[in-house]
Amino acid sequence: MSAAARAMAADSSAPDRAAAPVVPAVSVRDVAMVFSGQAAVADASFDLASGRFLTILGPSGSGKTTLLRMIAGFQRPTRGEIAINGRPVSAVPPHKRRVGMVFQKLALFPHMTAAENVAFPLKMRRFDAREIPARVARYLDLVHLGPYADRRIHELSGGQQQRVAIARALVFEPDLLLLDEPLAALDRKLREEMQLEFRRIQKELCITTINVTHDQREALVVSDEVIVMDRGRIQQMADPISAYREPANAFVASFIGVTNRIEGRLSDAQGDAVTLDTPFGPCAGRWGAPAGRSPRVGEAATGMLRAEQIRVAPSGEDRGGLDASVSAEIVDVIFEGERVVYEARLAGRPEATLRVFDHDPLGHAVQPVGATVRLGWNRRDLIVFPND
């Protein structure tokens, strides 16, 4: 660390050194990236503690790759500052950062064998030549590729190529591992296997990792923390359970999970307990906007309700213990084995359609199309956001 960087790191932590003596592994401050007038990333700020696994989740084009490329050093932020282990890195070129990256298209070297690919960063970073073969072997073993060391890249399967890319990014013991949707091209089974593999390796080496994906399931499965991005802005940073249960806004609520959107008007508000007047009638819900934006009776609002939080029961039979209960007609039934997916609609109101995931562990009942049913949920699960 240079003297200047040390001074700067000391400076920024001076006021509350007693409270937070640990320098975050990655610190992103007010970072923006503007391409010909268009902001691909705007006002991005977050800290990531050492050894954590962060996933940046967002739809295609939301600026995930751009953010990652700035951390890796391929692009310089238009504004803001990025620090790795307390050291500002904006002026540091990629080859002088200690950051390993696995690319969307892997970017392996096709003219080299698997072992040569893994040895490449060691050679470039001037490791002791006598130490290189043993270290390459160790990292190829880590990704279970020992027997394939001398294969060329095109002689390996897609999953094996993934493993070479991971070993190559890790072998020089970087401070930080970046993953730019390297699993997107794999079939589902292999992808889920590799997700757990990333998780295992990350825990084994305890390396700070930032993973980028548009796959919400992957984000929930592998991460310690999740950042949800949309149109270049960070919408929420939270652990996976909070991101799922306590979405910060309607976008996060709809992007993670299968979520019904119910438009309506607030007819009552007591603290964060609100009542939303919907086409189904008044529904009990919970106010989800951040503190400082309190609900106003009469304002237009949107309720977000996850498909698996809705209970379905034949009409007339009442499921006790639920805060809200409405009546609807089944218009579509999809039997998926482990669950049944219903589309239920208020008769003659196509905008008032709810998707319901049901697995009836007791009755094994499947409601037929056309049946009138009662749908119920708890106040906690209908999260209401203001429309502005």
Partner 1 sequence: MPLRPSRSAYPLSWRVLDALEAGARGVWPARFARGVPWLMLAPAILLVGLLAVSLFEIADASLRTLDTATFLPSEEHTLANYARAFSEPVVLAVGLRSLGGALLVTLATLILAFPYAYAMVRTPSAAWRKTLLIALFLPFFIGQVVRAYGWLILLGNQGLANEILGLAGLGPYRLLFNYWAVLFGLVQYMLPFAVLMLAPALSAIPEEVEAAAGSLGANWGRTLLHVVFPMAKPGFVGAGLVVLTLTLTDFAIPAILGGGGQDFIANAIYDQFFRTSDQGMGATLTVLLVLVGSTLVGLVFALFGAGTLSLRGRGP
Ligand X SMILES: Nc1ncnc2c1ncn2[C@@H]1O[C@H](COP(=O)(O)OP(=O)(O)O)[C@@H](O)[C@H]1O
CB of 227 to ligand X, least distance (A): 12
- How many whole angstroms separate alpha carbon 62 and alpha carbon 231? 4
CB nearer ligand X, residue 63 or residue 174: 63
- The side-by-side arrangement of strands in the sheet containing 176-180 is 99-102, 176-180, 208-213, 53-57, 225-230, 233-238
How many CB atoms sit inside 10 A of residue 113's CB? 18
Tell me if 61 contacts ligand X by CB under 6 A. Answer: yes
Tell me if 64 contacts partner 1 by CB under 8 A. Answer: no
CB nearer partner 1, residue 13 or residue 104: 104
- Pairing outcome for strands 176-180 and 99-102: parallel
CB of 314 to partner 1, least distance (A): 40
Q: Which of 79, 120, 132, 137 binds partner 1 (CB under 8 A)?
A: 120
Contact track, Mg ion, 29-68, x by CB under 5 A? ------------------------------------x---
Instruction: Name residue 44's beta-bridge partners.
Output: 31
Which of 135, 134, 188 shows the shortest CA–CA distance to 159? 188
Tell me if 76 contacts partner 1 by CB under 8 A. Answer: no
CB of 170 to ligand X, least distance (A): 22
Q: Which of 25, 46, 48, 65 binds ligand X (CB under 6 A)?
A: 65
Binding segment (CB under 6 A) for ligand X, from list 18-26, 60-68, 166-174, 253-261:
60-68
- How many whole angstroms separate alpha carbon 375 and alpha carbon 344? 9
- How many whole angstroms separate alpha carbon 64 and alpha carbon 306? 26
Q: Which does 66 bind (CB under 5 to 8 A by kind): partner 1, ligand X, Mg ion, none?
A: ligand X
CB nearer partner 1, residue 168 or residue 311: 168
State phi, psi for 323 to the nearest 5 degrees.
-80, -25
- Tell me the CA distances in angstroms from 42 to 30, 34, 55, 184, 374, one per residue in order: 8, 8, 18, 25, 45
| Footprint (CB under 6 A) of ligand X, residues 33-52 | 35, 40
Query: 384 CB contacts (<8 Å, ≥6 apart)?
Result: 266, 274, 276, 285, 286, 287, 288, 295, 301, 302, 303, 304
Report whether 307 contacts 260 (CB < 8 A). yes
Tell me if 77 contacts partner 1 by CB under 8 A. Answer: no
Q: Which of 6, 76, 105, 188 binds partner 1 (CB under 8 A)?
A: 105
CB nearer partner 1, residue 109 or residue 369: 109
Binding segment (CB under 8 A) for partner 1, from list 165-173, 192-200, 348-356, 370-378:
165-173
User: What is the length of the chain?
Assistant: 388
Tell me if 95 contacts partner 1 by CB under 8 A. Answer: yes
Q: Which residues of 52-67 are buried (b: 16+ CB within 10 A; e: fewer)?
A: bbbbbbbeeebbbbbb
298: left (phi over 0), alpha (psi -120 to 50) or beta: left
Residues near ligand X (CB under 6 A), total:
10
CB nearer ligand X, residue 233 or residue 339: 233
CB nearer partner 1, residue 97 or residue 345: 97
- How many whole angstroms separate alpha carbon 161 and alpha carbon 344? 45
CB nearer partner 1, residue 58 or residue 73: 73
Tell me if 213 contacts Mg ion by CB under 5 A. Answer: no
Q: Which of 101, 234, 304, 328 binds partner 1 (CB under 8 A)?
A: 101
The pairs formed by 139-144 with CB atoms below 8 angstroms and a separation of 24 or more are 139/167, 139/170, 139/171, 140/114, 140/115, 140/167, 142/167, 142/170, 142/201, 142/204, 143/167, 143/197, 143/201
Which residue type is seen at 379?
A: R
Structure tokens of 77? 């932020």
Tell me if 183 contacts partner 1 by CB under 8 A. Answer: no
Contact track, partner 1, 125-154, x by CB under 8 A? x--------------------------x-x
CB of 116 to partner 1, least distance (A): 10
Residues near Mg ion (CB under 5 A): 65
Residues near partner 1 (CB under 8 A): 69, 72-74, 93-95, 97, 99-101, 103-105, 107-111, 120-121, 124-125, 152, 154, 168-169, 172
